[in-house]
């Protein structure tokens, strides 16, 4: 009997489709009898998609083919799991609105979870990114990836952390191009003070012109 399982899929009950999907994501070659996850994705019950996705990620398999069929809340749960790759996170942007992304980034900041944050930088509000950048720096990381996406106030606060020696991993050579004259001057004065040099050598007369 030469049966082709692909033709059966639309007629299978939900539990059978789920069983088939789990067999695919558990397979070393990511297929079952020639079927891939993308072949069965449209037929997996909505309530089963998250479980299938999580099982796939535990086996280091891509789940991007499931995104279009998943509920927003399940997508958010999947993001929070930390299993998604950078490539998968990029795909997810189109399924989330601005406030969803902002809330996700706030939650990441509060939990000090910075996994895959780069994929969301262009889509997140500057204020939210500023908060994450400062947290990232305080946690001992160099936040250079944030500089093009945050506002001046956040960068000024970062400079303050650097001068207070609370952000030792910041590479100033990467930060300088994004700072205004005021911040550069503040860093210079801090440097001179640390070296015990007189800070009166800074000429501020130009500011009056």
User: What integer is the mean pLDDT of 22-45?
Assistant: 92
**What is the predicted pLDDT for the residue at 167?**
96
**Tokens standing for residue 189:** 């004065």
Query: Does the pLDDT of residue 84 top 90, yes or no?
Result: no
**Tokens standing for residue 135:** 């947290």
Q: DSSP class of residue 35?
A: B
**Tokens standing for residue 201:** 């050598």
| pLDDT tens column, 102-116 | 998 998 999 998 888
| pLDDT tens column, 152-192 | 999 999 999 999 999 999 999 999 999 999 999 999 988 88
Query: Does the pLDDT of residue 1 top 50, yes or no?
Result: no
If residue 79 lies in a helix (H) or strand (E), which one and from where to where?
helix 72-80
**pTM for this prediction:** 0.69
């Amino acid at each position: 009997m030469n049966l082709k399982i692909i033709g059966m899929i639309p007629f299978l009950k939900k539990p059978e489709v789920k069983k088939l999907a789990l067999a695919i994501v558990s397979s070393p070659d990511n297929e079952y009898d020639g079927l891939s996850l993308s072949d069965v994705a449209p037929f997996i019950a909505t309530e089963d998609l998250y479980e299938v996705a999580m099982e796939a990620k535990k086996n280091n398999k891509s789940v991007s083919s499931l995104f279009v069929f998943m509920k927003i809340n399940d997508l958010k749960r999947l993001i929070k799991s930390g299993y998604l790759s950078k490539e998968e996170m990029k795909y997810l942007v189109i399924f989330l609105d601005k406030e969803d992304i902002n809330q996700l980034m706030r939650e990441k900041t509060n939990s000090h979870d910075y996994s895959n944050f780069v994929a969301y930088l262009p889509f997140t509000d500057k204020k939210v990114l500023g908060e994450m950048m400062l947290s990232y720096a305080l946690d001992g990381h160099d936040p250079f990836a944030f500089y093009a996406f945050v506002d001046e106030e956040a960068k000024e606060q970062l400079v303050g952390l650097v001068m207070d020696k609370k952000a030792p991993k910041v590479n100033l050579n990467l930060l300088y191009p994004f700072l205004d004259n005021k911040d550069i001057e503040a860093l210079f004065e801090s440097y001179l003070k640390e070296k015990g040099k007189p800070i009166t050598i800074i000429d501020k007369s130009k500011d009056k012109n």
